[in-house]
Amino acid sequence: MSDSIVIDGGIPLRGRIEVRGAKNLATKAMVAALLGDTPSILQDVPQISDVSIVTRMLDAYGVAVTSPEEGVLVLDPSNVERAHFAQIDALAGSSRIPILFCGPLLHRLGEALIPDLGGCRIGDRPIDFHMDALRAFGAIVDKSYEGIRITAPDGLTGANIELPYPSVGATEQVLLTAVRARGVTELKNAAIEPEIMDLIAVLQKMGAIIWMEPNRTIFIEGVETLSGYTHRAIFDRNEAASWASAALATGGDIFVGGAKQQDLMTFLNVFRKVGGAFEVHEDGIRFYHPGGALKPVQVETDVHPGFMTDWQQPLIVALTQAEGVSVVHETVYENRFGFTDALVEMGADIVVHQDGLESVTRRVPRRKLEQAAVITGPTPLHGADVRVPDLRGGFSYLIAALTAEGRSTVTNLGIISRGYEHFVEKLEALGARFELVG
């Protein structure tokens, strides 16, 4: 695929595109297939590079992954075997998903070798919650030059775990480990994102016993065997919200096929407050700019059911066109406003407060490492040459280039294909004027 795109901006995006299964569920459901004794079938799998990376990791461990038709994966774990170091090492730095192989591999092989992780550079992104949880199940964690080696000589036993923060990945780690551990696991302060609920649905189809109590508590009763599943992945909320912000910023009108209201309610409220309009249909949601001025907002990112950290970057581009001062408080990651530098180069007025800002209207208590971005608009954007820094920041550059007057070049597009399926074809369908280069 080309590495760069030259965009002639200033044209409202209009038309219909489809979103398929969520990156942040499909990749985890693929890992869950390792736990079954029989093949699993996953439907609505997006063609994105994170899916390819997990496919390679599964392949290294002997899981046969085939695709009988577009969007469908059959994952056969009948011949799970130890991986060669070179195969694992080749995946180092490419994604964070491999960390979730730990529990399933411990159950299947008694040991797990995990490459050094990658993923978006949006802060430290430590794995201490994951490792502490695995130790609570009885695993032994060794960090070596090869990566992380985890063993469980006495098998894994259910545990009482309380996460210091409702981490998505650590909750998934506990679920994928507890389902086949001996006894009952109680997980307190769990993340409850819709993708996690969908992963629980996958595991229940496989034979797991999982129930929830109020206040973010999940119980898992371990079972001896699990079988394969057939499952259609939940739609990609982050992609849907990204296209919605693109419609707003460019003054356009986009029908996002496959988007569902229930899982986007928090986003829809903010979208409406900014001055965007939407219509909920059976088969998707139409997002459009109804005319008139956009309004400034105060937003705090948070864990579900709050406003997702992955929604703020595309929204910020729309906020550069709102009349007045908006504030976005980032409370999930400690360094997720780096992408705004390029927006400033394109004419936006954005000031990032690295130590955050106090505000009397805050809903989320201030976190230690948070930051705030103050966006003053409206500011016309002009074309520039920008380089994609991370997945969501990168998509926001596409939106900025589409909104700007004049020509922009966006390079390092490979990162965007980690999470946005066929985004070039979708831009074409929406009437964007661009050319791929490189």
23 is in an annotated binding site: yes
Site string for ligand EPZ, 131-170 (x = CB under 6 A): ----------------------------------x-xxxx
We find the least distance from the C-beta atom of residue 116 to ligand EPZ, in angstroms, to be 15
We find the least distance from the C-beta atom of residue 38 to ligand EPZ, in angstroms, to be 26
96 is in an annotated binding site: yes
Give CA separation, 106 vs 16, 80, 349, 420, 433, in Å.
44, 12, 50, 32, 50
We find the least distance from the C-beta atom of residue 217 to ligand EPZ, in angstroms, to be 17
Considering beta carbons, is residue 108 or 392 the nearer one to ligand EPZ? Answer: 392
| Integer Rg of the chain from CA | 22
Identify the CA nearest to 252 among candidates 349, 166, 300, 317. 317
We find the least distance from the C-beta atom of residue 392 to ligand EPZ, in angstroms, to be 5
Considering beta carbons, is residue 189 or 238 the nearer one to ligand EPZ? Answer: 238
Dihedral sign from CA coordinates of 182, 188, 190, 196: positive
- Give the active site residue among 120, 315, 317, 322: 120
Is 126 a binding residue for ligand EPZ by CB under 6 A? The answer is yes
Stretch that binds ligand EPZ, among 121-129, 182-190, 225-233, 285-293 (CB under 6 A): 121-129
We find the least distance from the C-beta atom of residue 135 to ligand EPZ, in angstroms, to be 12
Q: How many Å apart are CA 290 and CA 282, to the nearest integer?
A: 21
Stretch that binds ligand EPZ, among 7-15, 32-40, 116-124, 274-282 (CB under 6 A): 116-124
Is 100 a binding residue for ligand EPZ by CB under 6 A? The answer is no
Q: Is 120 a catalytic residue?
A: yes
Question: Binders of ligand EPZ among 23-52, rule CB under 6 A?
Answer: 24
Question: Binders of ligand EPZ among 269-328, rule CB under 6 A?
Answer: 308-310
Is 101 a binding residue for ligand EPZ by CB under 6 A? The answer is no
Residue 387: CB atoms within 10 Å: 14
- Are 335 and 370 in contact by the 8 Å Cβ rule? The answer is no
Q: How many Å apart are CA 47 and CA 218, to the nearest integer?
A: 32
Q: Which residues are catalytic?
A: 120
Q: Which residues contribute to the annotated binding site for phosphoenolpyruvate?
A: 23-24
Give me the residues that bind ligand EPZ (CB under 6 A), please: 24, 96-97, 120, 123-130, 165, 167-170, 191, 238, 308-310, 332-333, 391-392, 419
